[in-house]
Amino acid sequence: MIFTSVTFIIFIAIIFAIYYAIPKKYQWILLLVGSYAFYMWQIPWYACFLLYSTSITWIFSRLIGNNNENLVKYRSTEEYRSLEKENKLLFKNKTQLKNRNLLVLCLACNIGLLAVLKYTNFAIITLNSLGSNLQLIDRLILPIGISFYIFQSTGYIIDVYRESISPQHNFFKYALFVSFFPQISMGPIGRYDRLAPQLYAQHSFDYDQFTFGLMRMLLGFFKKLAIADILGVYVNAVYADTSSVRGITITIATILYALQLYADFSGYTDIALGIGNCLGIKLDENFKQPYFSRSIPEYWRRWHISLGAWFKDYLFLPILRSSWCMKVGKFLSRKGYKRLSQLVTTIIGLSITWFLTGLWHGASWTFILWGLWFGIFIILSTISSKFYPPNKGILLILNKNKYWHLIQILRTDFVVCLSYILFRSTDLENLMNILFVLFRRFSISNSSQLMTNVLPRTNWALLFLCLLIVFIIEIIDMQGGFLSFLVKTKKITRWFIIYFFIFLIYLCTDISLSTANFLYFDF
Amino acid sequence: MNNENIIIQLNTVFRDVFNDNKIMVEARTVSSDIDGWDSLMHISLISAIENEFDIKFSMKDIVGMKNVGEMIEIIERECRENM
């Protein structure tokens, strides 16, 4: 079920009505039933994969939780107190080893499913290019949201293993945490400690919160329908046949693709968070005006925040804290290269993390290169900050200058836009073709012809008006929040703005004439 | 080891790791209060604290600590368990 479809609007209207009509203790059950109905709407049997991942993770979390509980119980006994310190440690290590084996097995089952469905054909293609002669598997499917819910489950089991959270004893309550419908398709990837208590709590109807949620949803629909889908008409036309266009056209299409992707993904997130608000549930923010970032590391703290935080907490930090990585660091420190040791371990951690970030986005070398592209810039940024600290010398003076900030923002956006050429390319051959056109056929003649062929001038004018509106919203968001500002305005102004948004959406859906899916659905 | 001693030692570690002699940490200090305290520096800081106090942080502690106050509590707990 697509968020922008009429079916979905009817669906959430029914959910909202029942949610506040039934006794509050049954609200979470309604959300579970609604979430599975939402997920099974188009292809019901995809729920088998969701159920598999949910069951596996729940069973293993219970086993790990039981081991921890037994350890705590044993610690309170006289027998344990009478043990020597070494024996106490030995007992603790034994439990930890048992739990680690369970964790590894659970990760293998979950990530294994994702690997088989998402990466088998990619592995076959790669092996064939190296001389093998394997057949591609045609029947492999990629269920919607699998990359997201497997990461959410994986985060949960790691948190249980780390004893950051206690495992959920009720299978159905855990199933709701994994399948909660606003976020299952494209995130934000939820954390159990923040999300689960809200899902199981009893919520009374709160008019202010409900209308705030509706306004946030409207903003999401506006970004998706009035901007992303229309930009998509032009971007798709250019990228469908890159061999017949000029370099300037690719450049414009890539910049517009950056805007399309942001409007699409942040629009989806606004709808998801808006639904959450309407239900009294606060989901994690996923975007904080990323195109105003002054560096690539900052960009990744403001773009797809839940994914970046996931990779940081569950992959990057564990790599840096792993015994083998620390051994490398200690070896270099012993040899007298203390600063180099930190740098080397950081580079190892970042390289693995960004390789896998790229791979998570798609089974293609272009995605891997895209991930590594960011990895390189983050490594360079790390190295440069070691030699030129931002709080010293000329950088300290520059960092207080607004024009320098603007240069930094443009520099970051330039690197991000270049990355989208990798992101949007279908394969390496297509990428080479695009780069050839970009650097060898960069002519500005006839650049506007395709633009007006695809969309009439009046539609471009409308699109730029919508982009300007979003730009202003982003500026207000940085000052404290557009919706908070809207709530505080006079009723007549508020309703005028709301109707104006609805009018723009109405005009623009007439132009795009599409029920285009969200871009991150494919991941 | 009491909290005051810990915070004095901790301040020295912070100044050394962030290469900034003006740093003065207190219980409510958070990462946004100190320039450059990102995830990379956090790991460097954790390693330096581990060496200074001869303790070992768990991943739960590393990811979960919200401010210097929580950091002090963990250091105090680990030092107590090591005795």
**Residue A247 lies inside a defined structural domain of this protein:** yes
pLDDT class for B82, splitting at 50, 70, 90? low
Q: Is the pLDDT of residue A122 over 90?
A: no
Q: Is the pLDDT of residue A515 over 80?
A: no
Q: In this predicted model, which residue has the larger pLDDT, B4 or A118?
A: A118
Q: Is the pLDDT of residue A94 over 80?
A: yes
Q: Which residue from A minimizes the CA distance to B59?
A: A162
**Residue A15 lies inside a defined structural domain of this protein:** yes
What sections of A392-456 are H helices per DSSP?
A: 393-398, 402-424, 428-440, 447-454
pLDDT of B2 reads: 74
Cβ contact A320–B35 (<8 Å): no
Question: Residue A354 in contact with residue A378, Cβ under 8 Å?
Answer: yes
pLDDT class for A521, splitting at 50, 70, 90? low
**Residue A115 lies inside a defined structural domain of this protein:** yes
Are A193 and A216 part of one and the same domain?
no
- In chain B, the number of structural domains is 1
Are A115 and A199 part of one and the same domain?
yes
Query: Tens digit of pLDDT for each residue in A430-445?
Result: 889 888 888 877 666 6
Percentage above 90 pLDDT, chain A: 57
Q: Is the pLDDT of residue A376 over 90?
A: yes
Are A61 and A179 part of one and the same domain?
yes
Are A376 and A302 part of one and the same domain?
yes
pLDDT of A523 reads: 61
- In chain A, the number of structural domains is 3
First to last CA, chain A: 16
SS3 A523: coil
Question: Residue A306 in contact with residue A314, Cβ under 8 Å?
Answer: no
pLDDT class for A375, splitting at 50, 70, 90? very high
Is it true that the peptide bond before A188 is cis, omega within 30 degrees of 0? yes
Q: Chain A closest CA to B3's CA: distance in Å?
A: 24
Complex ipTM, two decimals? 0.83
Cβ of B59: how many Cβ atoms within 10 Å? Answer: 18
SS3 A194: helix
- From the list A143, A145, A142, the residue with the least C-alpha distance to A184 is A145
pLDDT of B79 reads: 82
Helices and strands, number each (H, E), in chain B:
4, 0
| Among A321, A346, A382, beta carbon nearest to B59 | A321
| A29: containing domain | 6-204
Cβ contact B62–A321 (<8 Å): yes
pLDDT of A497 reads: 92
**Residue A448 lies inside a defined structural domain of this protein:** no
pLDDT class for A511, splitting at 50, 70, 90? low
What rounded mean pLDDT belongs to chain A? 89
Question: Residue A224 in contact with residue A268, Cβ under 8 Å?
Answer: yes
SS3 A337: coil
Chain B: residues touching A (Cβ < 8 Å) = 19-20, 35-36, 38-40, 43-44, 47, 58-60, 62-64
Question: Residue A270 in contact with residue A220, Cβ under 8 Å?
Answer: yes
Q: Is the pLDDT of residue A237 over 90?
A: no
**Residue A453 lies inside a defined structural domain of this protein:** no
Q: Is the pLDDT of residue A513 over 60?
A: no
Record the tokens describing residue A471, joined without a space.
Answer: 């730009």
| Among A162, A390, A391, beta carbon nearest to B58 | A162
SS3 A14: helix
Domain boundary among A424, A453, A484: A424
Are A280 and A296 part of one and the same domain?
no
Q: Is the pLDDT of residue A183 over 90?
A: yes
**Residue A446 lies inside a defined structural domain of this protein:** no
Sign of CA dihedral B64, B68, B73, B77: positive
**Residue A455 lies inside a defined structural domain of this protein:** no
Q: Which residue from B minimizes the CA distance to A392?
A: B20
Domain boundary among A166, A181, A204: A204
Cβ of B47: how many Cβ atoms within 10 Å? Answer: 21
| Among A382, A389, A390, beta carbon nearest to B40 | A382
Are A310 and A268 part of one and the same domain?
no
- CA pair distance A508, A228, nearest whole angstrom: 10
Query: Tens digit of pLDDT for each residue in A403-434?
Result: 989 999 999 999 999 999 999 988 888 889 88
Q: Which residue from A minimizes the CA distance to B47?
A: A321
Q: Chain A closest CA to B23's CA: distance in Å?
A: 12
pLDDT class for A363, splitting at 50, 70, 90? confident
Are A265 and A329 part of one and the same domain?
no
Cβ contact B64–A163 (<8 Å): no
Q: Is the pLDDT of residue A3 over 70?
A: yes
Question: Residue A188 in contact with residue A269, Cβ under 8 Å?
Answer: yes
Q: Is the pLDDT of residue A211 over 90?
A: yes
SS3 A322: coil
CATH code: domain of residue B36: 1.10.1200.10
A–B: how many Cβ contacts below 8 A?
Answer: 34
What sections of A138-246 are H helices per DSSP?
A: 146-161, 171-179, 181-184, 192-200, 207-221, 229-240
Query: Tens digit of pLDDT for each residue in A33-87?
Result: 999 999 999 889 999 999 999 999 999 999 999 998 888 888 888 887 887 777 8
Cβ contact B59–A162 (<8 Å): yes
Query: Tens digit of pLDDT for each residue in B21-74?
Result: 888 988 899 988 888 788 888 888 898 899 888 888 888 899 888 899 999 999
Cβ contact A390–B20 (<8 Å): no
| B24: containing domain | 3-82
- CA pair distance A508, B14, nearest whole angstrom: 54
pLDDT of B47 reads: 87
pLDDT of A447 reads: 61
- CA pair distance A347, A342, nearest whole angstrom: 9
Q: Is the pLDDT of residue A397 over 80?
A: no
Cβ contact A317–B43 (<8 Å): yes
pLDDT of A517 reads: 66
Percentage above 70 pLDDT, chain A: 95
Chain A: residues touching B (Cβ < 8 Å) = 162-164, 297, 312-313, 316-318, 320-321, 329, 342, 346, 382, 385, 389-391
pLDDT of A224 reads: 92
Query: Tens digit of pLDDT for each residue in A142-156?
Result: 888 999 999 999 999
Q: In this predicted model, which residue has the larger pLDDT, B77 or A449?
A: B77
Cβ contact B64–A382 (<8 Å): no
Q: Is the pLDDT of residue A182 over 70?
A: yes
Stretch among A79-83, A195-199, A270-274, B79-83 having the lowest mean pLDDT:
B79-83
Query: Tens digit of pLDDT for each residue in A320-350?
Result: 989 898 888 888 888 888 778 888 888 999 9
Among A92, A163, A164, A192, the residue to mutate for chain B (most B Cβ within 10 A): A164
pLDDT of A78 reads: 84
Cβ contact A342–B44 (<8 Å): yes
Query: Tens digit of pLDDT for each residue in A295-313?
Result: 999 999 999 999 999 999 9
Chain A contact set for B40 (CB, 8 A): 346, 382
Record the tokens describing residue A188, joined without a space.
Answer: 């934000």
Are A148 and A265 part of one and the same domain?
no
**Mean pLDDT computed over A462-473:** 93
Q: Which residue from A minimizes the CA distance to B20?
A: A391
pLDDT of A199 reads: 97
Are A308 and A273 part of one and the same domain?
no
Are A200 and A215 part of one and the same domain?
no
What is the radius of gyration, based on Cα positions, of chain A?
A: 25
**Residue A444 lies inside a defined structural domain of this protein:** no
Q: Is the pLDDT of residue A392 over 80?
A: no
Are A214 and A200 part of one and the same domain?
no
- CA pair distance B72, B70, nearest whole angstrom: 5
CA angle, corner A418, sides to A415 and A420, nearest 5?
115
SS3 B18: coil
pLDDT of A33 reads: 97
Question: Residue A149 in contact with residue A128, Cβ under 8 Å?
Answer: no
With 0-12 CB in 10 A as exposed, 13-18 as middle and 19+ as buried, what is B62? Answer: buried
Among B17, B40, B70, the residue to mutate for chain A (most A Cβ within 10 A): B40
**Mean pLDDT computed over A198-209:** 95
pLDDT of A21 reads: 96
Are A150 and A221 part of one and the same domain?
no
Chain A contact set for B62 (CB, 8 A): 317, 321
| Among A163, A297, A329, beta carbon nearest to B60 | A163
